[in-house]
Amino acid sequence: MAKLTIEDLKKMSWDEFYGTPLKDKLKFFEKDGNLFDCLFAQQFSRPLLEKLFETATRIRTIAKSKGGMDWLQTLLSNKRAMLYFVQPSTRTFLSFQSACYILGLKVSEIRSTSTSSELKGESPEDTIRTFSSYADLIIMRHFQEGFAEKSAYILNKTKRPVRIINGGSGKDQHPTQALLDMYTLNLSFSNRGGIDNKTIMMVGDLKRGRTVRSLTHLLKHYKNVKLIYVAPEYLKIEDDIKVFLKKNKMPFIESDDLVKNLKYADAVYMTRIQDEYDVNNESKSIDYTKFHLKKEMLKHLKKDTIIMHPLPRRKELDIEIDNDPRAMYWRQERNGMWIRAALIATMFGIGDEILKFANQ
């Protein structure tokens, strides 16, 4: 079968496009070989990840001085961003808002469909077209799986395409959370040979946790990474992830025993139960307490193991762990601001300018 061209993809109906294998349509979200829309973790290669990590670190260094911050804020001062967050969010919203401010973008926001013309019956698709008239970048968090992709599909077929960043799409993906998770792993292991050859344990609601899905996809770019998935039977990783792991020859095990596996981990990635996706309150029947990390369990960890969490947390991560030097989740949260600024800069083609400034 001949490779699909951009024109072939543009001629497709949405249903045809959505049903097309991801690998065959990723180029639709690029421009001149560079990232235009950020929708999937699969869009990141290892060279791109490493360049983003370097750019993020340079931005945070430049921003330490007033002169540096003033310069950063000139870079995209002629651009406008729309934060369209109709699914609850604290960290992702504030992180992106701050990243935009760092680079000088003017920001507008919609936090609920009740404050837009969707309340009057306007379709979500028309709402996106409306936003595109006023913004150069739309960052969205939406409860509907595939909606960020559909928005990019619509706008990339117009005469004025506008960049889209997926800030969380239903149970599907959260690529920029995975990006900040990888940045945190990269910083944490910088004196230990990097992410290669590490064992990453992911704990909790792995079936519905979109951060786990996206992070798994990014870890394929690193050598000899081993994965331990610890979850209740009902919340185990789904088959598509297992197929992905086997295809990419990524060793993994599944378990329901948290304590038994702690000693093997270089990083423990905790997650909360995603009961907002319940159909019939099924989460209430799951004993999640066996998947809570308590302070007394830290004795089973290596001295240099790091503890992560995408937040918000509930009882699965003991607050008494917060002051342990291995706890990285608050640093992880702040890392999100810097790596998202680096992503936006790269999408607008100013990443190299930042790297050159830092080297002066």
- The question of whether 217 is a catalytic residue gets the answer no
Contacts 24+ apart (CB under 8 A), 242-250: 244/216, 244/217, 244/220, 245/216, 248/220, 250/219, 250/220, 250/225, 250/226
How is residue 317 written in tokens? 């991560």
Q: Which of 91, 226, 313, 326 is catalytic?
A: 91
Q: Which of 23, 64, 66, 120 is catalytic?
A: 120
- The question of whether 80 is a catalytic residue gets the answer no
Q: Which of 60, 163, 174, 340 is catalytic?
A: 174
- Residue pointed to by tokens 């009961």: 275
The answer to whether 252 touches 228, Cβ cutoff 8 Å, is: yes
How is residue 266 written in tokens? 């270089």
In whole angstroms, give the CA distance from residue 39 to residue 29.
8
Q: Which of 58, 141, 210, 213 is catalytic?
A: 141
- The question of whether 309 is a catalytic residue gets the answer no
Q: Which of 25, 57, 58, 92 is catalytic?
A: 92
C-alpha angle with apex 290: 288 to 295, nearest 5 degrees?
115
Q: Which of 347, 354, 335, 340 is nearest to 75 (CA)?
A: 354
DSSP element (H, E) containing 336: helix 329-347
How many CB atoms lie under 10 A from the CB of residue 247?
9
Q: Exposure string (b/e) for 15-50, b if CB count within 10 Å is 16 or more?
A: eebeeeeeeebeebbeeeeebbbbbbbbbbeeeebe
**One-letter amino acid of 323:** N
How many CB atoms lie under 10 A from the CB of residue 59?
27
User: What amino acid positions are annotated as catalytic residues?
Assistant: 91-92, 120, 141, 174
